Amino acid sequence: MASTIAYVAPFAVYIALLAIQRWIPLPIVAVHALRLAITAAVLWFASRRVLSLRPSRPWASLGIGIAVFLIWIGPDLLFGYRHSWLFENALTGRAASTLPASLHRDRLFLAIRLLTTAAAVPILEELFWRGWLMRWLIRSQDFEKVPLGAYQPVAFWTAAVLFASEHGPYWEVGLLAGIVYNWWMIRTKKLADCILAHAVTNALLAAYVRAAGQWQYWL
């Protein structure tokens, strides 16, 4: 049970905070800061014993992160199909930011959002999707006996599809990203390599959102 908590708790807490944030009676910046602080605390107290941040292939992981970033923005730049019914509907939502325009220039908010998306989220998502779920789907009774990066088709594709579903109207690039990150986990057998790749993707996307004014990527 303790092992499951280490891998699952940060993700579960983060998703729960996302779900209730509209009802927290604080300014938006304070809500985001509180979410980051709580998530960081859960990562520290629940997950630090299973977490390594030393990638075995840092330069290749950097390249993987850049590639996934290009995958993420490529379809919108090349084809512009995001607003079709297949991607915007009652199930997936709309590709539009809900952030007030005033926050686009708020340096404190931007710093908090960058730390969240480029530092906290890659860690908690990789712990959950590739550290826990892919192994739990192979051996649910004792997932830690399954080596990190073990390949089993059902586990691989289930994790990729569920990862895609997390990304709403960007589900198709989320699926591709999930496939790439799953593959990289299998290749490296190291969670740290996937965390680094994921962090690079998210940091580049954050920079793109800010520089190009493409706020729809921050739903």
| Residue 52's pLDDT band (cuts 50, 70, 90) | very high
Annotated domain spans of the chain = 55-217
Structure tokens at 11: 């993700």
Structure tokens at 140: 């649910």
Q: Is 132 exposed, middle or buried (0-12, 13-18, 19+ CB in 10 A)?
A: buried
Question: In angstroms, rounded to a whole number, what is the distance separating the alpha carbons of residues 40 and 115?
Answer: 10
Amino acid 138: pLDDT: 97
Per-residue pLDDT reduced to its tens digit, 5-39: 999 999 999 999 999 999 999 999 999 999 999 99
| Residue 1's pLDDT band (cuts 50, 70, 90) | confident
